[in-house]
């Protein structure tokens, strides 16, 4: 194992004028008449194609309108919207005029939006619909710097276009020329899984460098053979924003904006992405849906056998082992009967899937890879403009998150923490110099807070979080994440949260997944309408979960094993502060919200 690794190749050298906006203008120079955007404007299954030149014209109109509204270089502007075409237009327009984009998750409350806008001194806010507009309007009087709120559904882009008529091309050109690669481009507030959200200051260099270097490292996915991306992850998250830039910066990539996922599967079929980005829950749901559709009879048994064969196939490929003639024949049979159908659920052109935001179970990664959909996994933080490392198409070692981008470096500290350095590492936390100083080492490396190892080829394996380590009353250090991943493989489990800090043994809180429950219950002679509070106490439900708890326990010592679990009769949500907008579990909040349950039901009131 290595303690430090730098990926071969020089880091990307950027000119002073290479800003986010230039990713679009350079695309136009190469392929300005080709389609770059597909927007769901024509109804279900019908997409409006937009060329790079047409998209750029909309960006220019919006940029001129921003200048006419008095938005100066360095002014902060909030985007409070779902993922949609207008988000992309406004994002590039803000970059063109040197404004600082301050995105807010579309699920954030009015009070959360107020805190963000006041911390970053936002002057203009743009919401997508009436409901989010009203959320902002309800706190406008408490935001001294906020001058105006526009609404996309109220023709905000048309209003900006009208105002921008008074701004000449020369004036816009001068403004754009004043924006430099190391200027602040955006302040993105962390999702707050370990405390109050902090404003991460990212420059144009941070985003442009990782867009170019990651695209080169993953060229088979984002550059080669007419790539198409259907984007439904929130653009307030750096992961989605980066891949938007990568698609638009390619020679012939097309990005489709999907504001909601209510009709995701039909939209996947009609748009036909070649690659798809998602968080683990997306890929878990696709697998569970395929499993439940197969049922419990012959088709169900066939699916389970095919799934296990896919995982075995992938593991043998990873190990460099040859397949037997029998395995090859079996794989061909399952390809015709099962694998092709599962892949087609993600669209007719799908070639790759990529997962980020949280750990994905090894079994699920092997399943997708084994059915012919290489599962690319990556690692990053808001502080690194999202991606920092990723597995490669030709070096996709499942269980790792791959290597850093060319020219970037990783190292492991004496206490096992992963530390990183590269051109996409942020410059600091907004208005928080002490927090900034804490997160950087004396020699300039970013402390990630993650525990990891690095193999001899520079591949990173994440093993836990420094702050997530549980120390039992007996002094045993326990990493909860591997246990949670195993338990969460249970189809009816939505979240598993392991607890036990300063307690006599390890326990777990379990929440149930309503979608899979609805299909699971009738097969176990239970009504699909059974209330959650009764299901939380149901013996069949507990027996189902216990199988997966036992599997998790088999991977650790008895002192680290889950001795008892409680099924909650409620969910972890953003409303009860137990989930971040990017759907990460907020462990301190779970411990706080369910403190009585933990104390009474897991430990009998004993500490």
- Domain of residue 234, CATH code: 3.40.50.12780
Percent of the chain with pLDDT over 70: 98
Query: Are 119 and 243 contained in the same domain?
Result: yes
Q: What is the pLDDT of residue 458?
A: 96
Report the number of distinct structural domains present in the chain. Answer: 3
Q: What is the chain's alpha carbon radius of gyration, rounded to the nearest angstrom? A: 25
Query: Are 552 and 593 contained in the same domain?
Result: yes
What confidence tens digit (pLDDT) does each residue in 301-340 have? Answer: 999 999 999 999 999 999 999 999 999 999 999 999 999 9
Better pLDDT: 330 or 586: 330
- pLDDT, mean of residues 465-484: 81
Q: What is the pLDDT of residue 607?
A: 44
Burial of 317 (0-12, 13-18, 19+ CB in 10 A): middle
Owning domain of residue 30? 20-179+226-273
Q: Which residue is listed with tokens 């980005």?
A: 277
What confidence tens digit (pLDDT) does each residue in 282-301 have? Answer: 888 888 888 888 877 889 99
354, two tokens: 């990529």
Query: Are 262 and 290 contained in the same domain?
Result: no
User: Tell me, what DSSP letter sits at residue 142?
Assistant: G
Query: Are 328 and 461 contained in the same domain?
Result: yes
Burial of 381 (0-12, 13-18, 19+ CB in 10 A): buried
Q: What is the pLDDT of residue 194?
A: 54
- pLDDT, mean of residues 423-452: 96
Whole-number mean pLDDT of the chain?
A: 92
Query: Is 0.75 surpassed by the pTM of this model?
Result: yes
Q: What is the pLDDT of residue 580?
A: 82
Percent of the chain with pLDDT over 90: 72
68, two tokens: 């006419």
Q: Which residue is listed with tokens 């170019």?
A: 212
Q: Residue 422: inside a domain, yes or no?
A: yes
Asked whether the beta carbons of 148 and 122 are under 8 A apart, the reply is no
Query: Are 32 and 164 contained in the same domain?
Result: yes
Asked whether the beta carbons of 311 and 370 are under 8 A apart, the reply is yes
Q: What angle do CA 420, 401, 556 make, to 5 degrees?
A: 105
What confidence tens digit (pLDDT) does each residue in 493-531 have? Answer: 999 999 998 888 999 999 999 888 888 998 888 888 888
Asked whether the beta carbons of 379 and 390 are under 8 A apart, the reply is yes
End-to-end CA distance of the chain: 39
CATH number at residue 563: 3.30.300.30
Q: Has residue 408 got a pLDDT over 90?
A: yes
Q: Calculate helix-pair angle for 85-97, 20-31, nearest 10 degrees.
A: 110
Query: Are 430 and 499 contained in the same domain?
Result: no
Asked whether the beta carbons of 193 and 241 are under 8 A apart, the reply is no
Query: Are 408 and 500 contained in the same domain?
Result: no
């Amino acid at each position: 194992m290595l303690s430090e690794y730098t990926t071969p190749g020089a880091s990307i050298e950027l000119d002073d004028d290479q800003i986010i906006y230039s990713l679009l203008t350079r695309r136009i120079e190469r392929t300005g008449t080709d389609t770059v955007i597909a927007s769901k404007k024509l109804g279900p299954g019908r997409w409006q194609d937009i060329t790079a030149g047409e998209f750029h014209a909309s960006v220019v109109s919006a940029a001129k309108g921003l200048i006419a509204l008095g938005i100066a270089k360095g002014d902060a502007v909030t985007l409070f919207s779902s993922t949609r075409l207008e988000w992309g237009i406004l994002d590039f327009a803000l970059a063109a005029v040197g404004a600082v984009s301050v995105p807010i998750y579309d699920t954030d409350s009015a009070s959360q939006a107020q805190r963000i806008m006041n911390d970053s001194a936002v002057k203009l806010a743009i919401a997508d619909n009436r409901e989010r507009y009203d959320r902002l309007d309800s706190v406008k009087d408490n935001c001294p710097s906020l001058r105006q709120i526009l609404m996309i559904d109220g023709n905000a882009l048309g209003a900006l276009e009208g105002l921008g008529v008074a701004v000449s091309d020369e004036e816009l050109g001068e403004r754009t020329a004043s924006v430099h690669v190391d200027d602040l481009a955006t302040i993105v507030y962390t999702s707050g899984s370990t405390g109050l959200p902090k404003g991460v200051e990212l420059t144009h260099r941070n985003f442009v460098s990782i867009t170019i270097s990651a695209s080169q490292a993953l060229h088979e996915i984002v550059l080669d053979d007419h790539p198409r991306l259907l984007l439904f992850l929130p653009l307030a998250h750096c992961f989605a924003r980066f891949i938007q830039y990568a698609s638009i910066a390619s020679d012939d990539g097309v990005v489709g904006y999907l504001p909601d996922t209510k009709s995701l599967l039909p939209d996947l079929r009609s748009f036909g992405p070649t690659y798809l980005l998602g968080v683990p829950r997306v890929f878990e749901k696709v697998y569970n849906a395929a499993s439940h559709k197969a049922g419990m009879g012959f088709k169900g048994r066939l699916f389970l056998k095919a799934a296990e064969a896919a995982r075995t196939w992938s593991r043998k490929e990873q190990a460099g082992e040859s397949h037997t003639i029998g395995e090859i024949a079996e794989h061909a049979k399952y390809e015709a009967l099962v694998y092709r159908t599962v892949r087609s659920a993600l669209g007719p052109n799908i070639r790759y899937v990529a997962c980020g935001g949280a750990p994905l179970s090894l079994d699920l990664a092997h399943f997708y890879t084994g059915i012919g959909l290489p599962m690319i996994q990556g690692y990053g933080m808001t502080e690194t403009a999202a991606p920092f490392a990723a597995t490669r198409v030709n070096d996709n070692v499942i269980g790792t998150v791959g290597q850093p981008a060319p020219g970037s470096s990783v190292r492991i500290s004496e206490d096992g923490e992963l530390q990183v350095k590269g051109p996409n590492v942020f410059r600091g936390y907004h208005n928080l110099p002490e927090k900034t100083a804490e997160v950087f080492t004396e020699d300039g490396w970013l402390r990630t807070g993650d525990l990891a190892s690095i193999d001899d080829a520079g591949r990173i394996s994440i093993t836990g979080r420094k702050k997530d380590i549980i120390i039992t009353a007996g002094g045993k250090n326990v990493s909860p994440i591997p246990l949670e991943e195993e338990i969460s493989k249970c189809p009816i489990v939505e979240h598993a949260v392991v607890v036990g800090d300063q307690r006599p043994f390890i326990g777990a809180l379990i929440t149930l997944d309503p979608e899979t429950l609805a299909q699971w219950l009738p097969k176990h002679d239970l009504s699909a309408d059974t209330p959650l509070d009764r299901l939380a106490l149901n013996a069949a439900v507990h027996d189902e979960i216990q199988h997966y708890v036992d599997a998790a326990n088999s991977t650790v010592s008895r002192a680290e094993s889950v001795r008892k679990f409680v099924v909650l009769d409620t969910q972890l949500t953003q409303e009860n502060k137990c989930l971040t907008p990017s759907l990460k579990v907020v462990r301190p909040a779970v411990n706080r919200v369910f403190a009585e349950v933990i104390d009474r039901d897991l430990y009998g009131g004993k500490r």
